[in-house]
Amino acid sequence: MIRVLICDDHMIVRQGIRQSLGEACDIEVVAEAADGPAALQALRQGGIDVLLLDISLPGRDGLDVLRQAREEFPRLPVLMLSTYPDRQYAVRSLKLGASGYLNKSADSGEITAAVRRVAGGQRFITASVAELLAHALGAPSDDETPLHQLLSHREHQVFERLARGESVGEIAQALSLSSNTVSTYRARILDKTGARNDVELALYAVRRQQLPL
């Protein structure tokens, strides 16, 4: 029996995944969590074979939780779940040690197949993600390498909003952060991308096609 922990902040999503996996006789959802700390606590109690982890979580985002999980449980398969376009987070998740990346729009059969595959020690990568990964692995390691790949998930969220012209206060309210925290993220983003101000940051985002559709 493959014992699964689902971490997603939306109860209806957790229920949908639980229902999908419930049709498989070899998979059992044994625990649920609505945020990263709760998921890590459940993992520490043991008895989990696969973690299904949402990228967008309150507080510590999914990529931060993935890093922590890989440190504490290096052999645990982690399957990332997301509503974002694959190009935004799939490669980043895999580079951080995820065993697979799956969009929440996937049907129940694909979710079940993904859980079985990562539980067996293999990677689960869709055709679209495989293409992105091949491109990333073939990217040059010189100055042409996209600097935004150095951003953390939360920094990338702030980066996108800054590029769309949102103020620090607006971003703080939207992401439930303090203005000081957003300002700190902004300073890191400018440093990592080499932009001197928000206008240059927006131009960078347009050139790199990093503004979400």
Count structural domains, the chain: 2
Q: Using N-to-C axis directions, what is the helix angle for 153-163 and 62-72, rounded to 10°? A: 170
What is the per-residue pLDDT across 173-196, written as a single tens digit (0 to 9) for each?
988 899 999 999 999 898 888 888
Q: Which of 33-37, 103-107, 150-154, 193-197 has the highest mean pLDDT?
A: 33-37
One domain for residues 51 and 110: yes
- Select from 79, 110, 137 the last residue of a domain: 137
Same-domain status, 159 and 79: no
> pTM of this prediction?
0.68
Last residue within a domain, chosen from 137, 157, 178: 137
For the domain that residue 153 is a member of, what is the CATH number?
Answer: 1.10.10.10
Residues 27 and 126 in one domain: yes
Alpha-carbon span 55 to 28, nearest angstrom: 22
Q: What is the mean pLDDT of the chain?
A: 85
- Phi and psi at 27, nearest 5°, equal -130, 135
| Average pLDDT over every residue of 132-143 | 54
Whether the Cβ atoms of residue 67 and residue 41 lie closer than 8 Å to each other: no
CA distance 170 to 176: 10
Whether 18 shows a pLDDT value over 90: the answer reads yes
Give me the pLDDT at residue 142, please: 44
Specify whether 115 is located in the same domain as 156: no
Least confident of 62-66, 74-78, 143-147: 143-147
In a domain, 142, yes or no: no
Local structure of residue 149 (DSSP, 8 states): G
The answer to whether residue 32 sits within a structural domain is: yes
User: 133 and 153: one domain?
Assistant: no
Domain range holding 164?
147-207
Last residue of a domain, one of 137, 172, 199: 137
DSSP helix/strand/coil, 28: strand
Of the listed ranges 59-73, 81-95, 99-113, 198-212, the one predicted with least confidence: 198-212
